[in-house]
Each structure stands twice: as structure tokens, then as C-alpha cells.
Structure 1
């Protein structure tokens, strides 16, 4: 199983809401596709996000001014995670949000957008992990603006 570092930023919500989603809703919002830069081009697939597999470990960090670890989680199978989620696509671990309360919470926060391909909120279903070795934010090599990187 792979380990990933995810850097949340202020572009969507603060660290409190990111932690609330992960701990209360067991969910990390992450689009699978980006909208096209120009009207005459196609959607752009979020390449590394599709490499995340069920059973992988996510270490969620918050960037911006806090630069801290928010928690570690196992990526769960959305098809086996209850009626609030469904598998999105045929590869990877992406989940479609079917839960009305979670959809309402995401809609209420500026910056969260529905995935342009799936036309709903997507991301990963999470289960908290305890006793996992965690790197400090400063020790993770964040290449540029990337928010999701596979750890060695």
C-alpha cells in the first residue's frame, strides 16, 4: 500500500473545516478532473489523484500559515462505505458523495466545487489511523504547488 501526503490550503476552507470533513464525515474532497482552461479544450484529469488506491494511507496536512499535520487515514472502498457514497469511475479510489448533509456542507463553503466530469462532489472515503509515524510538514518535500504527492 502507498502513502500519500495531502496539503490542504485556504483556497477552499480553513483547517477546521478540512478536519471536520475528515473526522465527522470521513471524507476528503478532491476533484478527479479540472475544468478546461479554454472552451475549445477537454477536461484535464487530475493525474496523481487517480493513482490513490483503496487501502492507501493519507497524511493530511494544512499549509498556509499553520503548516501542521491534521491526521492520518486509510482510504476506504466507497462501494462498501454505506449509502452516503458510491464508487466514482472504474479506477482508483474516488467516491461520489450521495449524502445530502455532506453535499450541503460542501455547498455552503466557498471554494468547493462539484467535479466537472461526475457532476457531483467527489473525493476519498477515510478511516482514521492511529499509531502511524508522521513527518512534520517541513520534512515533506512539496514540489511546487502540488497538493497531493506520493511519499517514498
Structure 2
């Protein structure tokens, strides 16, 4: 078994951008998920269709913010390649006491879109928090995780879900 190394560190231990110039263009996809525990009061308002704030409808605003975040990933994460997304979709739903945010990013490129999918889910979750904090600050963004990716050197699919 070969020892894996960090991709953004050169042989001298200095940070570096990964050189993708020799890679082939291929279809790459990534799916990520964020889980929010907003508390009973917020869940009750969602289920009664009462969750519209001065900034607008919470879930629709979070979807827009998530896509905007995905498009800005290279400006937020050091050494992320700036890419033009071919598609970015976000779906938000309530499951029991949780709000589930699923994001998917797609591109034909030399580099993957995992960071864009993760950023989309993260920014959407932060937007839900921001818009709901007037009701309660006891909102927890429980986890953000990559669910799957295709294209590039290897594919990944989370098998614990």
C-alpha cells in the first residue's frame, strides 16, 4: 500500500496549486449534504408554511445563496481552480426534526467539483441559520459531507448512508 500525500504541498513542504494542465477533460460530478437541527419552533413554522422572513422565503433564498457560493469557491478556498460550473442544483427538505440540504455540481473539466458541491451545501446551511436566527439561536449545523463524486482519478460514494 503506497503512502498518500497531500495534493497541495510540494516536495519542499510549501503550499502549491495542483498543476492540472496535463489532465484530460472529463465529466465530473459531486454531491454533498448538510444537515441542520433547527429546533422544534422552526420546524413547526416550516411545516405550517410560516417560514418567510424579511429577506424572503428561507429555503428558496438558501438555494440561491448556495449556488452563488458554489460559483465563488475558488475565491474562498486557497488553490481551488476557478471553474465555470455546467450545473449546480440544491434541494432542501425536512426529515423529522432535521433540515436536509443536498447539492450537486457538474462540470466538463480537468479538475473536480467536490469543493463546489461542499461550498454550495455549506453556504445554503449558513443562509438557513442566518434567516432563522431571529426565531432561535439554538440552531445546529450538524454536519457537512461529500456524498459522492465521479470523474478524475477515482470515484467515491459514501457507503454509510
TM-score, reference length from structure 2: 0.26
More helix by share: 2
Q: Whose radius of gyration is greater, 1 or 2?
A: 2
